[in-house]
Amino acid sequence: MTRFPNLILALLMALVAWVPAVAQTAWPDSAPEAFVMAHVDIETTGLDPAFHEMTDIGMVYTDVDGRELGRLYVRIMPPHPERIDPGARAVNGFDVDYWRANGAVDEAEATARILAFHRRVAAGRTVMFTAYNAWFDQGFLSAMLARNGAAWRDLFHYHVLDIPSMAWGQGLLQTRGSGVAEAVGVPDETRVPIEHTGITGADFNVSVYRALLVRRADGGLDRP
């Protein structure tokens, strides 16, 4: 008869211990040093993360002010290269022989490199996943990690940041990368397929992010 009251007491004690921890959670506005921005870009064999696969990934980690903390580029041999969509090939120049000759690794090794890089650079800080088409990059990376025994959520905060949304919030009603680049005065990402990689995309994202920070600081934010 005493077990049920004891169970309730234990649950109440756990709740009391949990509530202060939630209330004291740091956020970027109060503790920016506790956060890292993971600027990520990927190339793939198509648009569907349930069918297509990643062919590379570029990651540039910065602090919230855009100062670089570390970078990683991994060229990946997809498990099913035959699934390449002609449109994807036209963008990223995927070719099995070229990938093999230029250091492509399988998904398991790519996952291991991503996890090792993340642990080293994040160093226990909260990491905000940041990308140009965030849902796209997050979907493919999450799928690859899951296939290889890892979880996207174990690496990144549940809030995901999207570069065009940041620009939109400053009154730049652009969605195309070239349009945003022109609006903030940074060079557009290369359109040469074989040179258009995850790391050129991640670098582009960082450049736009930094430009948006400067624009906001200079009072460039458009207000009604």
CA distance 58 to 172: 26
- Taking the C-alpha atoms of 153, 159, 165 and 171 in order, what is their torsion angle to the nearest 10 degrees? -160
Interval 157-180: pLDDT, tens: 999 999 999 999 999 999 999 999
Q: Which residues contact 107 (CB under 8 A, 6 or more apart)?
A: 53, 54, 76, 78, 79, 144, 147, 148
- pLDDT band for position 26 (cuts 50, 70, 90): confident
**pLDDT (0 to 100) of residue 219:** 80
**pLDDT (0 to 100) of residue 224:** 34
Mean pLDDT of the chain: 91
Q: What does each C-alpha distance from 187 to 73, 95, 194, 213 come to in angstroms?
A: 21, 27, 18, 16
- pLDDT band for position 8 (cuts 50, 70, 90): low
- pLDDT band for position 23 (cuts 50, 70, 90): very low
Interval 31-47: pLDDT, tens: 999 999 999 999 999 99
CA distance 196 to 41: 11
CATH no. for residue 109?
A: 3.30.420.10
In a domain, 187, yes or no: yes
What single-letter DSSP state applies at residue 163?
H
In a domain, 222, yes or no: no
In a domain, 172, yes or no: yes
Q: Which residues contact 143 (CB under 8 A, 6 or more apart)?
A: 49, 50, 53
Higher pLDDT, 14 or 44: 44
**pLDDT (0 to 100) of residue 21:** 41
88 with 73: CB under 8 angstroms?
A: no
Interval 185-195: pLDDT, tens: 999 999 999 99
In a domain, 134, yes or no: yes
- Taking the C-alpha atoms of 156, 159, 165 and 170 in order, what is their torsion angle to the nearest 10 degrees? -110
111 with 145: CB under 8 angstroms?
A: yes
Range of the domain at 53: 33-217
Interval 83-109: pLDDT, tens: 999 999 999 999 999 999 999 999 999
Interval 105-150: pLDDT, tens: 999 999 999 999 999 999 999 999 999 999 999 999 999 999 999 9
Q: Interhelix angle for 177-184 vs 198-217, to 10°?
A: 40
**pLDDT (0 to 100) of residue 1:** 45
In a domain, 25, yes or no: no
In a domain, 95, yes or no: yes
**pLDDT (0 to 100) of residue 46:** 98
SS (H, E, C) 120-138: HHHCCCEEEEEECCHHHHH
Decide if pLDDT at 4 tops 70. Answer: no
Q: What does each C-alpha distance from 156 to 101, 122, 126 come to in angstroms?
A: 32, 10, 7
Which tokens hold the place of 17? Answer: 């211990």
3-state secondary structure (DSSP) of residue 69:
strand
Q: How many domains does the structure of the chain reveal?
A: 1
206 with 161: CB under 8 angstroms?
A: no
Higher pLDDT, 16 or 130: 130
Question: Structure pTM?
Answer: 0.87
In a domain, 8, yes or no: no
In a domain, 3, yes or no: no
